[in-house]
Structure 1
């Protein structure tokens, strides 16, 4: 093997057909060496740690396919949009299959829980925001709540640019206080699940403290619900390992910045996990 492989492509976004036969690139601050097999001119590379070519060092093979524009991971049959994500699948720790199975079991348990409530809240921004839209979906996939709210606060321009809500467009909507009895009926005693549940819970806590002028009743109200975050199980199931952080990368759901649509996205992802085959019995 050469001591100094040719440099990586100028960008991993360029056409793989123009890439060198051998190059080193860095994914999540950790380099990998990519070597095209000698028996092909196709955009395929075997992946190794730089300078390490023993059989135990081999991470796997990646193939760029013209037909779907995705990177194919030979060992798992997976397809990923970027070369970097494909490499991340090859770096999964040996414990991943067990962790994935636990994520699948978690999703199956949720979907069999009659108290499940998938929620999403759109807000006035990120800095101490108030609620502008709240939706909730039950264990049957039925949307049981979809409300626009008057947050009685200004919107951050960046937030309005994403979800399209403004002070003017929400001025005639119900306030959180108007909706509180409905929220209590729907949420109390339920198992609330969201993508980054801490954010949604903080928004509700802020709204409740404003309504009661006291954080104590807010804490009591929140304690009547169970809270569960879907980020870690879904990111673990996806299995894009960051060698830099030694953790699974956050998996994006493809947010529509509309609360009902986000509930549907998360519910569908839970179904995908629940219907996945496990590796261990």
Structure 2
């Protein structure tokens, strides 16, 4: 693994912000540009393949929200990260649409933003008689999610343990000692386990991106020099709100970065979960709503029983 330096990350963020600034600021409802916090390339010497891992730490909560302290996973004992051989990730659509999930795990609003659209409806209908209107948005392409929770004090983790044990039978708790490092290694394990031929469906633009990617293949003279897998990992606390803004005019429909914000927003009725998410995505559309990855020794070493 080769870590990308902080100067390169800063330069990439500046370029990205500049590219989207005009469009983003044109809409008062637009979500902020999600910036990189870490990046690395991973070389698979046996396969002569190179994978690019891009990490972002997100926090859509309002200013003044409590600092994220510790991060923990609550699960059945067999599925703890320090014990299981494979981790299960699932798309927001899976949590929205799977009917046999317990309430609170299954969530009809997972991965969506709901915005008040009374003003826009009045404009379209040319009447002032609209008393209630809202629009829910979901990303056209969603990641696979791995769910955890965050806490600061002992009494908070005790409350979470009781909540998940009593409501869902999740009697085991696992501490993630370094969420940023966990996000990176989750991305690495994901990249090394991904089969682009069967796990995702690549569109023409996805194929174009891979076809025009490049790296210096000096270590492997017979390799292609193209990046084999590009993986994005976003992680951070979930923001709980029932209204995510307003649609007052046509300009307010544009939200180029609304997808990540939707993945990290849930309704206030679920705030007791204090959720902390890891969202893993790559070029292409997921073929299956659930995805399993092998747990590496490096990822496992970042966890311990709580």
Would you say same fold, with TM above 0.5? no
TM range (shorter): under 0.3
TM-score of the two chains, using structure 1 as the length reference: 0.22
TM-score of the two chains, using structure 2 as the length reference: 0.21
Higher strand fraction (1 or 2): 2
Q: Which has the higher contact order (CA 8 A, sep 6+)?
A: 2
| Structure whose CA Rg is larger | 1
